[in-house]
């Protein structure tokens, strides 16, 4: 019975996604939904993109083991990231009327900076999307009682997400995110209420028990090395996720700069508050069944929530739960497949054929999407890391290589192309060297060293005599915005030329 509900839900989701695809007429529709999304949809798509597999399985299982201190990266770091990115992108980049972050790197610096940062951004998505696909495999395995193996489940999940993303792009993703957000919020809240009812003393007893067990201790002990690791983990997600195409795409798809800003802030706030619901469900589960579920904390913590729902909940709760989880994973997977594919097509491939027509470019984005999906599937099938770790590791490369050129390029007039190159290469080389030579034994997290070297590179490269790119100095933000405004005005006055 449950399986049929899940199949029906999947068919409806794909149907909605394909219906939304009828609105895609050009590359801009595909990449940023024609910059037409209203506030509720922007808020929903920011929330739904980030509320994925790790929010339900990963964060809750990490909280059971390590308490609040273990989840500093997500949801704490990621929520702050979404608010910061919303402010940065809506205030400075929205007016530029561009498709990708790579476009900004090219306009502000040069083609080399565009290509290297784009590659960093694309590579960072591998782990994140793979985590979603891994979770879909886990889900199909659980729903069918092992009838569909995890490997087959991953392949099936990828095929379903691809079906509507390839045709509908950002329109399908955004409209489905809105529908899926409602299913997620309703389903998980319903289960949290039911779970609380099965614990003596209700929700208050669960919170008191977690508090007594020390799960609410957020800050580490007074040891400088522990603090460094704590800060490094939080900063990786907080800053490393800012130069990400999916966040940029959501902000840029909004109807106006104001909607872009408040949609992002509202989505981030909802995300932060709502990640505590799966944590509550998982912790309550260990109290309802200490012998069964409680014994899974050390070895199979990611399976606690689905096992609790399958063994202790009525059919209606199971239907709502799997609907919510499928929504969470599919909305994140479709968005995180689309973002790197659009970036790669726009900022790497298009450079080799700059006069390509819009229709051809649209199809090129779709072909890249299929290729990237195959890569992700191979990565998901061969990775041993947990879902939470896969997501956390994804942002180290963008933190070391793409964060400084973006922030300095937006906020610092004197940032130059030479500074951006020094920041990129310095940060990446420092991070990779520390990771390879010292690895986990490094007292300072390797990605934090990469960030510091990147910042020094940006400062020194911009302030020292200019040897690289001195013939074409980086254009400051106000100049780029002025040029974009003139271009928009020209298109409005002479539409038949465009």
pLDDT band at 134 (very low <50, low <70, confident <90, very high): confident
Residue 108 has pLDDT above 50, yes or no: yes
% of the chain residues with pLDDT over 70: 95
Given this model, what pLDDT does residue 469 score? 65
Distance CA 140, CA 389 (A): 21
Distance CA 350, CA 365 (A): 10
The label of the residue with tokens 């040029």 reads 483
Given this model, what pLDDT does residue 494 score? 55
Given this model, what pLDDT does residue 471 score? 46
Given this model, what pLDDT does residue 41 score? 93
Given this model, what pLDDT does residue 211 score? 93
Cα separations (Å) of 61 from 231, 269, 371, 431?
A: 21, 22, 32, 28
Distance CA 302, CA 56 (A): 9
Residue 443 has pLDDT above 80, yes or no: yes
What pTM value is reported for the model? 0.85
Nearest CA among 496, 486, 468 for reference residue 111: 468
Residue 207 token pair: 């919170």
Higher pLDDT, 314 or 54: 314
Residue 146 φ then ψ, to 5°: 90, 0
Longest dimension (CA), the chain: 73
Given this model, what pLDDT does residue 489 score? 55
Residue 421 has pLDDT above 90, yes or no: yes
Nearest CA among 124, 84, 100, 103 for reference residue 28: 100
Per-residue model confidence as pLDDT tens digits over 311-359:
888 988 888 888 888 888 888 888 889 999 999 999 999 988 888 899 9
DSSP 195-241: HHHHSTTHHHHHHHHHHHTTTT--SPPS-HHHHHHHHHHHHHHHHHT
Distance of CA 344 to the CA centre of its chain: 17
Higher pLDDT, 453 or 32: 453
Burial label for 344, CB within 10 Å (0-12, 13-18, 19+), is: buried
Out of 227-231, 397-401, 446-450, least confident range: 227-231
Residue 424 has pLDDT above 60, yes or no: yes
Given this model, what pLDDT does residue 331 score? 82
pLDDT band at 487 (very low <50, low <70, confident <90, very high): low
Residue 411 token pair: 């906020």
Higher pLDDT, 3 or 108: 108
* Region 116-145 average pLDDT: 87
Residues 457-495 as b/e (b if ≥16 CB within 10 A, e otherwise) read bbbebbeeeeeebeeeebeebeebbeebeeeeeeeeeee
Given this model, what pLDDT does residue 493 score? 54
Higher pLDDT, 454 or 92: 454
* Region 205-212 average pLDDT: 93
Per-residue model confidence as pLDDT tens digits over 275-295:
999 999 999 999 998 888 888
* Region 479-493 average pLDDT: 64
Say if residue 24 is preceded by a cis peptide, omega within 30 of 0.
Answer: no
Residue 488 token pair: 């928009």
Residue 204 has pLDDT above 80, yes or no: yes
**What mean pLDDT value characterizes the chain?**
87
Residue 296 has pLDDT above 90, yes or no: no
Out of 118-122, 164-168, 332-336, 389-393, least confident range: 389-393
Cα separations (Å) of 172 from 21, 142, 167?
A: 6, 27, 8
Distance CA 253, CA 24 (A): 13
């Amino acid at each position: 019975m449950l399986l049929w509900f899940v199949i029906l839900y999947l068919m409806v989701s794909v149907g909605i996604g394909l219906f939304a695809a009828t609105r895609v007429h050009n590359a801009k529709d595909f990449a940023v939904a024609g910059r037409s999304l209203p506030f509720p949809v922007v808020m929903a798509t920011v929330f739904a993109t980030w509320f994925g597999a790790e929010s339900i399985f990963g964060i809750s299982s990490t909280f059971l083991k390590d308490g609040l201190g273990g989840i500093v990266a997500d949801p704490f770091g990621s929520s702050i990231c979404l608010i910061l990115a919303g402010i940065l992108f809506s205030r400075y980049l929205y007016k530029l009327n561009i498709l990708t972050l790579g476009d900004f790197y090219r306009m502000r610096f040069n083609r080399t900076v565009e290509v290297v940062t784009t590659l960093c951004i694309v590579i960072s998505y591998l782990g994140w999307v793979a985590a979603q696909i891994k979770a879909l495999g886990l889900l199909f395995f659980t729903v069918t009682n092992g009838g569909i193996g995890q490997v087959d489940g991953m392949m099936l999940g990828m095929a379903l997400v691809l079906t509507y993303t390839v045709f509908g792009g950002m329109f399908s993703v955004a409209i489905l995110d809105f529908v899926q957000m409602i299913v997620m919020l309703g389903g998980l809240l319903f289960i949290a209420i039911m779970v609380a009812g099965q614990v003596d003393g209700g929700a208050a007893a669960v919170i008191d028990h977690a508090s007594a067990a020390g799960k609410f201790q957020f800050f580490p002990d007074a040891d400088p090395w522990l603090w460094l690791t704590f800060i490094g983990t939080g900063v990786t997600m907080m800053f490393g996720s800012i130069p990400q195409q999916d966040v940029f795409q959501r902000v840029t798809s909004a109807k106006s700069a104001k909607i872009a800003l408040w949609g992002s802030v509202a989505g981030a706030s909802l995300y932060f508050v709502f990640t505590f619901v799966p944590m509550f469900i998982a912790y309550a589960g260990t109290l309802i069944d200490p012998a069964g579920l409680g014994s899974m904390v050390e070895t199979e913590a990611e399976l606690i929530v689905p096992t609790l729902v399958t063994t202790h909940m009525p059919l209606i709760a199971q239907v709502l739960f799997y609907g919510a989880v499928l929504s969470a994973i599919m909305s994140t997977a479709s968005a995180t497949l689309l973002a790197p594919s659009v970036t790669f097509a726009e900022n790497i491939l298009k450079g080799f054929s700059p006069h390509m027509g819009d229709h051809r470019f649209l199809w090129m984005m779709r072909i890249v999407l299929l290729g990237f999906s195959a890569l992700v599937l191979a990565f998901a099938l061969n990775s041993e890391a947990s879902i939470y770790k896969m997501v956390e590791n994804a942002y180290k490369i963008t933190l070391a290589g793409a964060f400084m050129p973006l922030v300095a390029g937006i906020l610092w007039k004197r940032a130059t192309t030479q500074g951006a190159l020094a920041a990129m290469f310095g940060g990446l080389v420092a991070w990779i060297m520390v990771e390879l030579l010292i690895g986990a034994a490094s007292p300072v997290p390797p990605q934090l060293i990469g960030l510091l070297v990147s910042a020094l590179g940006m400062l020194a490269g911009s302030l020292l005599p200019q040897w690289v790119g001195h013939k074409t100095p980086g254009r400051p933000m106000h100049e780029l915005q002025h040029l974009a405004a003139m271009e928009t005005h020209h298109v409005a006055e002479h539409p038949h030329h465009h």
